[in-house]
């Protein structure tokens, strides 16, 4: 009874705060979308200061395994790919001006002419070849090698035409080329820096890299030789500020211009301040509870199913997240290719959970732990799950750690349960399926559950080869049904992206992946 009262009290407090915030949320979000310029002078030569919770883990795009790090330098900042996507996830030209599929296994790309890398090296077919040879070189050890494992050869037809010849049809090729994984690197920099490329990024993007002091700040400057429309700001400074309230205060006082990874506990402050506004973007990512299925007792599917029944997602969405985001049933969000719209969820049923635990041999529960990054909502989520699982006799210790350390530990399997997520930068179901559920993706690539199922592997491989959209959807529907039954993860929330923005900033936006769109940003004097 004490545990039930604790849970009820905890949720009552956070729900009360949430309800108080909901009533005043619309005005701030409306202001964030009003980017019309005022009579004040816009400082197009100025500096944009972005306060961020977690530092980058590496600046080598072919070793980046999380969207937080990608958001520093990739996706149209320092690095670009052959193609890109707009706010509606439609494919657009980038370093390739056009493309076509010649047959099931051959794609041809016409490359943009007159483009140079930040070190002056010309961009051409040889640069594309050099980049992908590096990704696929086992001696380099890129974590992205699996993403392009189907690439058999890249042919340079001429200086500005390349053909990707594949070992087998790969439906999400464009989606993979449009994200961080497909970043094109200066061939000169590859030779010059080798493994030190992680500290010396050289791309073709609208911003070039100036400096990085790990744990403190990173500086990008406008690329004056950029092939496209040049950014309106001259410099971007990322400041690493782990404390949530400090980041908000920095934007409010003008020490910074914006911050992302905003905890819902800061929303009331945003609403009451005339100098800042809230930007909210519906995302593609999912947050979930991961089990390490190679450790007892989580090697027993009945234990995992019991926990799925014991988690009250509705209470979590309202209490922990202030109704920011929606309840997740699958690891794919509704906007992602392959989403299963009729997949059923585990009912919140404490009695069924207890029965499954008893059947698995744990009638009195057991002791375990949840490992999580130190984001406030993730810690709050872990604590609510801790309280909910106490109701079925499971005693959970919450282990919170710095985000980079958390990723490293989860990649090594140093956990029993984790609060995990996948931002799905591609917008394609293959991204989640391959990285989270395929047996070849254990550890750093994303399979923190260390889950292996031969049928699932076979279907994932079939799904990426299938070009017929209807048949692909059928494959992914079957996958989600198997994964629901096996429960290596418990999907909890479809993520919305939040940012706090100074009233002096105009034309800043985030895409559905949560990546900053900086080229049009201006800052008032």
Angle between helices 301-310 and 376-390 (to 10 degrees): 100
Give the mean pLDDT of 194-212. 96
Q: Does the structure show a pLDDT above 70 at 10?
A: no
In this structure, the answer to whether residues 73 and 174 fall within a common structural domain is yes
One domain, residues 171 and 228? no
Under a CB-based contact definition with an 8 Å cutoff, are residues 430 and 464 in contact? yes
**Do 80 and 144 have their domain in common?**
yes
- Token readout for 492 is 């909890």
Confidence of residue 264 (pLDDT cuts 50, 70, 90): confident
pLDDT digit string (tens) for 483-500?
999 999 999 999 999 999
Residue 33 has pLDDT above 50, yes or no: no
Residue 167 CA to residue 176 CA, distance in Å, equals 16
Supply the Cα-derived Rg of the chain in whole angstroms. Answer: 23
Same domain, 237 and 162: no
Residues 118-128 pLDDT 10s? 999 999 999 99
Task: Examine the fold and report which residue of 199, 218, 252 is the final residue of a domain before the chain moves on.
Answer: 199
Residue the block writes with tokens 């958390």: 406
Query: Please, which residues bridge with residue 99 across strands?
Result: 109
Average pLDDT score over residue span 287-313: 98
Among 173, 199, 225, identify where a domain stops. Answer: 199
Cα–Cα distance for residue pair 380/224, rounded to 1 Å: 44
pLDDT greater than 90 at residue 161? yes
Indicate whether 32 pLDDT > 50: no
- CA 202 remoteness from chain centre: 23
Is the predicted pLDDT of residue 502 greater than 70, yes or no? Answer: yes
Q: Any bridge partners for residue 110, and if so which?
A: 98, 161
Can you give the pLDDT at residue 367? 98
Query: Which tokens in the block code for residue 439?
Result: 């047996």
Angle between helices 454-465 and 469-486 (to 10 degrees): 160
A 10 A CB-CB count for 21 gives 20
Residue given tokens 């700040």 in the structure block: 217
Q: Which residues contact 123 (CB under 8 A, 6 or more apart)?
A: 95, 111, 112, 115, 116, 117, 184, 204
pTM given for the model:
0.78
Q: Quick one: DSSP state of residue 394?
A: -
Among 199, 230, 250, residue at a domain's last position: 199
For residue 494, how far is the Cα from the chain centroid? Answer: 12
Who has greater pLDDT, 22 or 394? 394
Mean pLDDT value of segment 221-248: 96
Report if residue 488 sits inside a domain: no
Q: Which pLDDT score, from 0 to 100, does residue 411 have? A: 93
Q: CA 23: distance to chain centroid? A: 29
Same domain, 195 and 215: no
Instruction: Report the C-alpha gap between 149 and 457 in whole angstroms.
Output: 15
Q: Is pLDDT of 15 > 70?
A: no
Whether residue 126 contacts residue 158, with contact meaning beta carbons closer than 8 Å, is answered with no
Which range is least confidently modeled, 11-15, 101-105, 228-232, 332-336?
Answer: 11-15
Is 290 in contact with 417 (CB distance < 8 Å)?
A: yes
Distance CA 433, CA 460 (A): 6
Domain annotation covers residue 132: yes
**DSSP states of 448-496 as a string?**
TT----HHHHHHHHHHHH---HHHHHHHHHHHHHHHHHH-SEEEEEEEE
Other CB atoms closer than 10 Å to residue 26's CB: what's the count? 11
Q: Quote the tokens at residue 274.
A: 């005339």
Percent of the chain topping pLDDT 90: 79
Give the number of domains in the chain: 2
**507 confidence band (pLDDT: 50, 70, 90):** very high
Q: What is the pLDDT of residue 459?
A: 98
We report the CATH number of the domain holding residue 185 as: 3.90.76.10
CATH assignment at residue 212 = 3.40.190.10
Tens digit of each residue's pLDDT (9 = 90 or more) over 345-391: 999 999 999 999 999 999 999 999 999 998 888 999 999 999 999 99
Supply the pLDDT for residue 87: 82
Domain that holds residue 89: 67-199
pLDDT at 464 over 60: yes
378-403 burial, b if ≥16 CB within 10 A, otherwise e?
bbbbbbbbbbbbbbbbbebebbbeeb
Least confident range of 41-50, 253-262, 380-389, 421-430: 41-50
**Do 242 and 126 share a structural domain?**
no
Cβ atoms of 205 and 76 within 8 Å: the answer is: yes
pLDDT level of residue 404 (50, 70, 90 thresholds): confident
Residue 183 has pLDDT above 50, yes or no: yes
Structure confidence at residue 44 as a pLDDT band (50, 70, 90) = low
């Amino acid at each position: 009874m004490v545990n039930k009262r604790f849970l009820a009290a905890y949720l009552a407090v956070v729900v009360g705060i949430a309800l108080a915030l909901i009533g005043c949320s619309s005005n701030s979000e409306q202001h964030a979308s009003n980017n019309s310029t005022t009579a004040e002078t816009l400082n197009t030569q100025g500096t944009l200061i972005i306060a961020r919770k977690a530092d980058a883990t590496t600046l080598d795009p072919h070793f980046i395994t999380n969207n937080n790090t990608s958001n520093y330098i990739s996706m149209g900042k320092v690095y670009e790919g052959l193609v890109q996507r707009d706010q509606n996830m439609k494919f657009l030209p980038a370093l390739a001006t056009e493309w076509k599929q010649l047959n099931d296994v051959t794609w041809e790309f016409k490359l943009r002419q007159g483009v140079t890398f930040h070190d002056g090296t010309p961009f051409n077919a040889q640069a594309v070849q050099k980049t992908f040879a590096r990704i696929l070189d086992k001696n380099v050890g890129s974590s992205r090698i699996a993403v392009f494992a189907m690439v058999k050869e890249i042919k340079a037809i001429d200086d500005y035409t390349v053909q990707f010849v594949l070992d087998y049809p790969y439906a999400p090729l464009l989606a993979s080329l449009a994200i961080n994984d497909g970043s094109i690197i200066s061939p000169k920099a590859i030779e010059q820096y080798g493994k030190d490329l992680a500290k010396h990024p050289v791309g073709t993007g609208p911003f070039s890299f100036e400096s990085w002091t790990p744990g403190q700040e990173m500086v990008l400057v406008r690329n004056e030789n950029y092939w496209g429309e040049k950014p309106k700001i001259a410099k971007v400074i990322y400041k690493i500020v782990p404390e949530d309230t400090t980041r908000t205060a920095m934007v409010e006082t003008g020490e910074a211009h914006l911050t992302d990874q905003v905890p819902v506990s800061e929303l009331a402050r945003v609403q009451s301040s005339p100098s800042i506004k809230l930007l909210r973007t519906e995302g593609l990512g999912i947050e979930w509870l991961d089990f390490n299925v190679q450790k007892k007792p989580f090697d027993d599917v009945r234990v995992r199913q019991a926990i799925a029944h014991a988690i009250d997602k509705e209470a979590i969405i309202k209490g922990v997240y202030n109704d920011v985001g929606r309840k997740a049933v699958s690891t794919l969000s509704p906007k992602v290719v392959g989403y299963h719209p009729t997949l059923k969820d585990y009912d919140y049923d404490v009695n069924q959970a207890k029965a499954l635990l008893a059947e698995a041999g744990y009638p009195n529960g057991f002791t375990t732990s949840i490992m999580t990054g130190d984001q406030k909502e993730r810690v709050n989520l872990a604590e609510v799950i801790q309280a909910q699982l106490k109701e079925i006799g499971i005693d959970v210790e919450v282990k919170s750690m710095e985000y980079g350390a958390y990723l490293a530990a989860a990649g090594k399997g140093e956990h029993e349960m984790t609060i995990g997520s996948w931002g799905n930068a591609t917008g394609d179901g293959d991204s989640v399926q391959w990285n989270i559920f395929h047996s070849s993706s254990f550890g750093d690539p994303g399979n923190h559950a260390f889950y292996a199922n031969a049928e699932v592997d076979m279907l994932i491989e079939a799904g990426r080869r299938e070009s017929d959209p209807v048949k692909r959807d059928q494959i992914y529907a079957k996958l989600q049904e198997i994964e629901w039954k096996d429960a290596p993860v418990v999907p909890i929330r479809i993520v919305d992206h939040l940012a706090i923005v100074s009233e002096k900033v105009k034309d800043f936006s985030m895409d559905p992946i949560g990546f900053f769109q900086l080229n049009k940003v201006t800052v008032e004097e």
